[in-house]
Amino acid sequence: MFIGFSVSNFLSFKTTQTMTMVASKIARHKEHILSGNGKKILKTGLIYGANAGGKSNLIRAVDFSRDMILGGLDAVDLNKKYFRISNDGYKTPGVFEYRFITQSGKEYSYGLAISYAEKEIISEWLIRIEKSGAETYIFNRNIDEEGVQHTESEVKIKNADERTRWKFYLEDFGADISEAMKKKSILSDVAERSNGKHEVFSEILDVFLWFQSIIIIFPTSQYNSLNQVVEDEVIREMFSRLLKYFDTGIESIESKLGYVEFDKIFDGIPEEEAEKLKTRITNDMRDEPMLFRVNNQMYTLRKDKNGNVITTKMMQNHGNSQDLFDYLEESDGTQRLFGLIPLFYEHNGNSVIFIDEIDRSLHTNLTRKFLERFYELTDGDTSQIIATTHDSNLLDLELVRQDEIWFIKRMEDHSSEIYSLNRFKERYDKVIDKEYLLGRYDAIPVFDDEVLEDMNAESI
């Protein structure tokens, strides 16, 4: 379960900004409350704000930091990711911190600070938080004033061999740390090198797997397992029903199987680009079917025992089974649904799902139905959605709680500030969508009429 996230000096976030999913004392929508480690945690977070206010940057901060945590600094592009409006942004650390409960039911705080200038991790910590509030540092990594790195732990390990191994791992992040280790997180290093079966190692693996399980969807994200829709009859049937439920005009998803001459797939593509695609596809192709987007069509490709390429195309039946539609012939909204529908069955009962622009290309009624359907299908599990949106139709306290609504606004210094609707102490029966559009909660576009007046004056 996701409890909260803080970020500073990343893109439009200058000072520390925090979003928390800890529930307030609001009595309504109790079905939106999850319990863990003595806390009441919200199931949803909807984030509103004007264009360029910083909404997408919050999702980018999660995506960026998650990639760093799992893959180290080599897995991300650090170039110009700091708050660039400030002259000292390049020299100021970027800090990212998470609060969460893992599958084991334990609560943790994990964070790291990076140096954009030196391109290294300068601080990292993992803290176990007990129900009583007591804290134990699993590890704490810091650089002192002389530039020497120190890593400490408060964990007491009973087994002598495990204790020695733990000490050995932490020493790799001590005073004699290598250049490679400066870019890597302790969390990923220990999770990957240890067996994760005993004592502190099982805790670290548990935390590592929590980060791995995070689902992040951007407007341009493409569902990575569309090949399952083609190959798996059960999933294909589920997709068909949900696409019909959401009134896309699709009657069913069809799987069209056949042999194809490999080179024919690339007809019409410039030779140099075609060769690159062929190489990538050939290198990636395994025994399992792989999905590829080639020449504006979606193919599932694999090789048979004779080395021949078999292609299976995902097609949509819009009422004429003799003339099927290709995936890329569908509307932007329907293609967007192909990326969102898997959330209904891939959440595994405990996933944290971040969606940037959940309403992108979708009718306002469809977006609302999607959320309602998510609540129904995940009732009783700990799945959560945190999403940015412009759709004021979702600003309805019959649908969500006051503490599930957040705003991000651009300040005078062009930095982003995040705050909850709870700040305004609104009643449960308040019509908040109109109040939002009227500017009561800020976080809406402010149009400078003087600019137009000056332009008109200059053109006279």
Both structure tokens of 5: 């996230």
Asked if the model's pLDDT at residue 436 lies above 80, the reply is: no
Residue 438, pLDDT score:
66
Residue 169, pLDDT score:
92
**Of 3-17, 115-129, 195-209, 283-297, which gets the smallest average pLDDT?**
283-297
How confident is the model over 151-185, as pLDDT tens digits? 999 999 888 888 899 999 999 999 889 999 999 99
| Rounded CA separation 43/352 (Å) | 9
Q: Mean pLDDT across the chain, nearest whole number?
A: 85
Residues 6+ apart with CB under 8 A from 380: none
Confidence band of 276 (pLDDT split at 50, 70, 90): confident
SS3 content of the chain, % helix, strand, coil (to 5): 35, 25, 40
Answer whether 369's CB lies under 8 Å from 394's CB: no
* β-sheet bridge partners, residue 35: 40
Asked if the model's pLDDT at residue 272 lies above 70, the reply is: yes
| Rounded CA separation 406/361 (Å) | 22
Answer whether 428's CB lies under 8 Å from 401's CB: no
| Rounded CA separation 215/196 (Å) | 23
| Rounded CA separation 397/443 (Å) | 19
Exposure of 440 by Cβ count < 10 A (0-12 exposed, 13-18 middle, 19+ buried)?
middle
* β-sheet bridge partners, residue 150: 142
Q: pTM for the full model?
A: 0.86
How confident is the model over 90-144, as pLDDT tens digits? 999 999 999 999 989 999 999 999 999 999 999 999 999 999 999 999 999 998 8
Both structure tokens of 328: 């890329």
**In the predicted model, what is the mean pLDDT of residues 194-218?**
89
SS3 115: strand
Confidence band of 447 (pLDDT split at 50, 70, 90): low
Length of the chain: 460
Nearest to 327 by CA among 353, 291, 358, 289: 291
**In the predicted model, what is the mean pLDDT of residues 302-319?**
75
Nearest to 338 by CA among 250, 258, 256, 257: 250
Residue 49, pLDDT score:
87
